[in-house]
Amino acid sequence: MEKIKVIHYINQFFAQIGGEEEAGHPVEFFPGEVKGPGMAFNQAFGDEAEIIGTVVCGDGFFNENIDDTTEKILAWVEEQKPDLFIAGPAFNAGRYGVACGTMAAAVQEKLGIPAVTGMYVENPGADMFKDKVYIASTKNSAAGMRDAVKVMAPLGLKLARGEEIGASCQDGYIPQGIRVNFFEEERGSKRAVKMLLAKLAGKPYTTEYPMPAFDRVDPQPAVKDMAHATIALVTSGGIVPKGNPDAIESSNASHYGEYDITGVNDLTSDEYETAHGGYDPTYANEDADRVLPVDVLRDMEKEGKIGKLYDKFYTTVGNGTAVASAKAFAEEIGAKLKADGVDAVILTST
């Protein structure tokens, strides 16, 4: 039987070019070459498959030139006609994870070639791409390479052969938000007893159905006297002063901005725009009030419907931003608003 042909994508670090200082390394294709973790994959494949070329790209370079780089890599992959595309594993490296997820998803979607990648579950790339491609669940550092390859290689072979993929716990991938049935070795009542014994003993156990974690916030009592209330505007829609002075990222934001709007009655296209990379910015750039309604609130202020519009607004980009980061921003923003005597906040998204 003919061997399954594999193209492998890795970053500058795993290609042994260099660390963060080489993150700008441009994308390159090495036909016929096996690099870094590719060796381990080839070993795991045995006679079943082999890597026929390796794509190497600096993580910074990829993320700053996503569209062009993706096109370029797709063209190389298309020419080589592999049966499988493997990216990473990226472990907990955020930009590498996004690159692996982007490429694996693009190859699968645009070229119809099955793809697999691997990441630590908290890698932002995992959240962004887990419902688009199979992402093997790995440890959080390269020390987990052997284990990662042990999961990714067989999962990749199954995909390349068009075999049915089992449940996430069987084939070792990050759950895709799709419930998949399978038969366990033990019946449910036995599993329940074992789980209870573990729980009683304070030992680890894995629930078979993680409850959806709704971070429920009880609504505050209604504002009784809006006519004397100070209202603030906060958005995850990325509205920033033109030029994005604090360089809030278009996705996976690492910080938020605080901007003074004293005397501003209208967010004009000369002064404001959006930094958000997850929606068509045309209408927001045309009139940023569509996302952050300063104009309407100024009107209401004049009409006496609200006491006052707070003189600053807070903004960040919700696109792919980790929940943990968003929470941290909110805690800081909330504390500032409270200290300044703001009575209520209008939160806008996109």
3-state secondary structure 231-258: EEEEECECEEECCCCCCCCCCCCCCCEE
Q: In terms of CB distance, is 209 or 263 closer to other proteins?
A: 209
Report strand pairing: 115-120 vs 134-138. Answer: parallel
CB of 171 to other proteins, least distance (A): 10
Q: Which two tokens mark 75?
A: 């063209």
Q: Which residues pair with 10 in a beta bridge?
A: 56
83 HSE (CA, 13 A, CB side): 15
Cβ proximity to other proteins, 184 vs 299, nearer residue: 184
Minimum gap (Å) between residue 283 Cβ and other proteins: 30
Neighbours of 166 (CB within 10 A): 15
Quote the least distance from Cβ 319 to other proteins, whole Å: 22
Q: Residue 159 CB, nearest distance to other proteins (Å)?
A: 18
Distance CA 183, CA 238 (A): 46
Of 237, 82, 233, the residue nearest 159 (C-alpha): 82
* Nearest distance, CB of residue 212 and other proteins, angstroms: 5
Q: Between residues 136 and 294, which has the closer beta carbon with respect to other proteins? A: 136
> Do 307 and 321 form a contact (C-beta atoms < 8 A)?
no
Q: At closest approach, how far in Å is the CB of 162 from other proteins? A: 19
Q: How far is the CB of 218 from other proteins (least distance, A)?
A: 8
Rounded-to-integer distance, Cα 227 and Cα 62, Å: 51
Q: Which residues bind other proteins (CB under 8 A)?
A: 167-170, 175, 177-193, 195-197, 199-200, 205, 207-214, 218-219
Q: What is the DSSP string of 145-179?
A: HHHHHHHHHHHHHHHHTTPPP--HHHHTBPP-S--
| Residues whose CB falls within 8 Å of the CB of residue 15, separated by 6 or more in sequence, listed in order | 35, 36, 54, 56
Nearer to other proteins among residue 81 and residue 194 (C-beta)? 194
Q: Beta strand pairing status for 4-11 and 49-57?
A: parallel
Nearer to other proteins, 183 or 263 (CB): 183
C-beta of 140 vs 176, nearer to other proteins: 176
Query: Which residue type sits at 187?
Result: R
CB of 195 or CB of 344, closer to other proteins: 195
